[in-house]
């Protein structure tokens, strides 16, 4: 009998489709009366029904179905919703009801570890009868199966994320949206909020995806996690820096921090655009130039297409700090690097900086420093 079963298992594995697993994995049926079907189709003949807790061997995954081998050597298909693959990993699930009890044991009379919210994400570690042993909020316990819905994606990530959900997969999505500049640092909550939905929608539109609805489905998740996809929002730097901006007095450490020769990033607060610049001189404030012709072009866009003495609130990022500052966009006087297409230099003022001509603070520059600080808090 054992030899026949091994032969049946080998034959089943050798005839698998391209979605086959490398080796059969043990799985548990997670509902009562689950149909084992002849084909991966709800209209296909049911070979038999499987009891809750039945053990099967998973041979392959085909769409939303698993091809499985029963202990009596019967091979058939079970929908992914009703099976838990116990390969030492975990599977994502979401809580269906507010106030669902995470319990200390697989029994409704055991103590409550924590109450879970509807839409909250958990990781299922194993199945114990009608109970799932799960981890949630850095705690572990048991949840009755009627209060959970399993994701269709095993181990790696959820196949669909939407508003109201929370957990590790949502946090992973938010980190990637943040890296690409579509979500701010304050949006890294682990909960799929309205801000996350807006960020996903903006990404979908920017990527030209077919389904721009703010729901992170399979197409969106595949696109955003694609290592070959370098799509970033033009204002990514602004989004990432917001919340980390400080005030630094020019005469109390500012001049030494932004020392001569420093190459740094300038982010315009009103447009969100960024460019690189270099300080080459100045003593009461920084005399600065764009580093490349491309930086000059971005600066001109910030200025509205023509150079201007108008003061603008900016953030200066250098050596681990982002400092509130002000600049104008008018090339004048010394021109250290003609190849950058900027015919002169421009000025950057921090808190307390002064004008070289009269050794006094410029009220317009200082007002912009304040604006920049408030915008970056």
Same domain, 338 and 298: yes
Q: Is 105 exposed, middle or buried (0-12, 13-18, 19+ CB in 10 A)?
A: middle
Same domain, 35 and 141: no
- The pLDDT assigned to 19 comes to 44
Q: Is 47 exposed, middle or buried (0-12, 13-18, 19+ CB in 10 A)?
A: middle
Choice among 15-29, 60-74, 155-169, 307-321 with the minimum mean pLDDT: 15-29
Give every CB contact of residue 223 below 8 A, 6+ residues apart in sequence: 207, 209, 229
DSSP reduced 3-state for 254: helix
Claim: this prediction has a pTM higher than 0.85: no
- The pLDDT assigned to 196 comes to 95
List the CATH number of the domain containing 136: 2.30.30.40
Domain boundary among 85, 115, 140: 85
- The pLDDT assigned to 86 comes to 61
- The pLDDT of residue 286 is above 70: yes
Q: Are strands 245-246 and 100-103 parallel, antiparallel or unpaired?
A: unpaired
Based on the structure, what is the number of domains in the chain? 4
pLDDT tens, residue by residue, 148-158: 876 644 333 45
| Mean pLDDT, range 100-111, rounded to an integer | 90
Same domain, 304 and 182: no
- The pLDDT assigned to 212 comes to 86
pLDDT tens, residue by residue, 155-214: 334 557 888 887 778 888 999 999 899 998 888 988 899 999 999 999 999 888 877 889
- The pLDDT of residue 96 is above 80: no
- The pLDDT assigned to 230 comes to 84
Same domain, 72 and 122: no
């Amino acid at each position: 009998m054992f030899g026949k079963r091994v032969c049946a298992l080998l034959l089943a594995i050798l005839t698998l489709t391209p979605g086959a697993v490398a080796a059969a994995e043990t799985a548990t049926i997670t509902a009562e009366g689950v149909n084992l079907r002849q084909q991966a189709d709800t209209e296909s003949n049911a070979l038999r029904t499987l009891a809750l807790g039945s053990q099967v061997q998973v041979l392959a995954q085909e769409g939303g179905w698993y091809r499985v081998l029963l202990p009596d050597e019967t091979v058939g298909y079970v929908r992914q919703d009703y099976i838990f693959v116990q390969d030492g990993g975990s599977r994502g699930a979401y809580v269906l009801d507010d106030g669902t009890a995470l319990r200390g044991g697989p029994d409704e009379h055991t103590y409550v570890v924590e109450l879970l919210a509807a839409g909250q994400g958990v990781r299922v570690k194993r199945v114990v009868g009608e109970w799932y042993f799960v981890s949630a909020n850095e705690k572990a316990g048991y949840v009755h199966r009627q209060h959970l819905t399993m994701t269709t994606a095993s181990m790696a990530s959820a196949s669909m994320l939407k508003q109201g959900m929370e957990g590790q997969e949502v946090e992973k999505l938010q980190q990637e949206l943040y890296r690409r500049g579509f979500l701010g640092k304050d949006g890294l909550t682990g909960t799929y909020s309205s801000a996350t939905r807006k960020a996903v929608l903006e990404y979908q539109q920017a990527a030209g995806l077919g389904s721009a609805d703010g729901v992170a489905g399979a197409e969106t998740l595949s696109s955003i996690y694609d290592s070959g996809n370098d799509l970033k929002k033009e204002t990514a730097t602004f989004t990432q820096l917001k919340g980390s901006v400080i005030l630094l007095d020019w005469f109390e450490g500012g001049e030494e921090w932004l020392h001569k020769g420093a190459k740094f990033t300038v982010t315009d607060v009103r447009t969100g655009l960024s460019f690189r610049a270099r300080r080459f001189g100045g003593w009461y404030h920084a005399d600065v130039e764009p580093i490349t012709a491309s930086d000059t072009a971005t600066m001109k866009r910030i200025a509205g297409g023509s150079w201007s003495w108008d003061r603008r609130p900016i953030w200066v990022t250098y050596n681990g700090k982002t400092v509130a500052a002000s600049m104008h966009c008018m090339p004048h006087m010394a021109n250290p690097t003609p190849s950058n297409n900027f015919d002169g230099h421009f000025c950057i003022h921090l808190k307390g900086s002064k004008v070289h001509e009269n050794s006094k603070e410029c009220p317009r520059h200082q007002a912009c420093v304040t604006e920049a600080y408030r915008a970056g808090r």
